[in-house]
């Protein structure tokens, strides 16, 4: 398994491939994404242990979506059970995936805790859906500082875990080694990933503006509110679909077939 250098334009290509693959199997991939969201939401509803549990399950659930994308690229219809791929591959890989998830949960809670120390939990409650955003809160210097503290701590964490689930599952790397190769691959292809992120951000902004314009043209601002959430969920599903291509093109070997 070797790291690969990709051209800068690969970032936009990954976005395009994610959208194209999603449109090949929209019902299956959208359905799997909503199951993924439902599992994460239900986990976070558990008292005390809910958030750490959800973060522990996140790498395994992300792998399931990547496996579903891989199936779709082969012309297959991904079934719901593929979302639980990491839990059906034997005790060794399951233990490695749960260890990876536990490390991600610890890192996420550390990043969230750092923001909590800055503003007393205002950003954390908003991020986790426990409060409603207000103009006063969003303009608060403490809130804005807490947001940047969280971003500064969470960004390297995300890069360490970007490819890690796939490397653990498809390449049998131990969790720590998979995290190392993941962040190295992201830095070696920094500009491609920068284009990837910018392209997705631009796509989301364009979608929001288009939906807002449609509501104004139709003389029904409420229509924009009705369309915005499902549109953003579909774009989020396409984003997760595109993750597989960032992994596939960053490493020399294709993952071996899985039963």
DSSP secondary structure letter of residue 89: S
- Outline where the chain has alpha helix (H): 10-24, 26-44, 50-73, 91-119, 122-127, 135-138, 141-162, 164-171, 175-188, 190-217, 221-250
Rounded to whole angstroms, how far apart are CA atoms 164 and 21?
A: 22
Of 169, 248, 176, 177, give the one whose Cα is nearest residue 6. 248
Residue 256: its pLDDT value, please? 47
Residue 219: its pLDDT value, please? 78
Q: What tens-digit pLDDT sequence spans the chain (259 residues)?
A: 789 999 999 999 999 999 999 999 999 999 999 999 999 999 988 888 999 999 999 999 999 999 999 999 999 999 999 999 999 888 999 999 999 999 999 999 999 999 999 999 899 988 887 667 777 888 889 999 999 999 999 999 999 999 999 999 999 999 999 999 999 999 999 999 999 999 999 999 999 999 988 888 887 777 777 888 899 999 999 999 999 999 999 998 654 444 3
Residue 224: its pLDDT value, please? 77
Residue 258: its pLDDT value, please? 47
Rounded to whole angstroms, how far apart are CA atoms 97 and 110?
A: 20
CA 60 to chain centre: 12
**Which pTM does this prediction carry?**
0.90
Q: What's the token pair of residue 102?
A: 């536990």
CA of 80: how far to CAs of 28, 37, 61, 67, in Å? Answer: 8, 13, 12, 11
Of 126, 122, 128, 123, give the one whose Cα is nearest residue 148. 123
Of 81, 68, 79, 33, give the one whose Cα is nearest residue 234. 33
Residue 135: its pLDDT value, please? 77
For the chain, what are the domain ranges? Answer: 10-250
Residue 139: its pLDDT value, please? 84
Decide: helix, strand or coil at residue 3.
strand
């Amino acid at each position: 398994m070797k790291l690969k250098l990709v051209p800068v334009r690969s970032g936009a290509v990954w976005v395009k491939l994610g959208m194209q693959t999603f449109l090949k199997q929209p019902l299956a991939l959208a359905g799997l994404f909503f199951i993924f969201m439902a599992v994460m939401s239900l986990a976070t509803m558990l008292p005390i242990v809910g958030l750490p549990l959800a973060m522990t399950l996140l790498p395994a659930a992300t792998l399931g979506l990547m496996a579903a994308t891989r199936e779709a690229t082969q012309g297959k219809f991904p079934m719901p059970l593929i979302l639980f791929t990491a839990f059906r591959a034997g005790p060794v890989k399951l233990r490695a995936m749960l260890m990876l998830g536990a490390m991600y949960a610890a890192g996420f809670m550390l990043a969230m805790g750092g923001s909590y120390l800055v503003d007393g939990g205002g950003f954390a409650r908003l991020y986790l859906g426990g409060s409603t955003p207000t103009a006063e809160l969003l303009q608060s210097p403490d809130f804005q500082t807490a947001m940047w503290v969280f971003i500064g701590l969470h960004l390297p964490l995300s890069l360490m875990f970007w490819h890690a689930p796939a490397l653990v599952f498809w390449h049998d790397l131990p969790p720590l080694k998979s995290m190392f190769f993941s962040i190295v691959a992201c830095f070696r292809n920094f500009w491609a990933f920068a284009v990837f992120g910018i392209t997705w951000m631009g796509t989301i902004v364009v979608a929001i503006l288009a939906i807002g314009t449609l509501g104004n043209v139709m003389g029904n601002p409420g229509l924009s509110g009705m369309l915005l959430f499902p549109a953003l969920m579909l774009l989020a599903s396409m984003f997760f679909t595109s993750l597989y291509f960032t992994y596939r093109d960053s490493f020399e070997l294709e993952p071996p077939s899985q039963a």
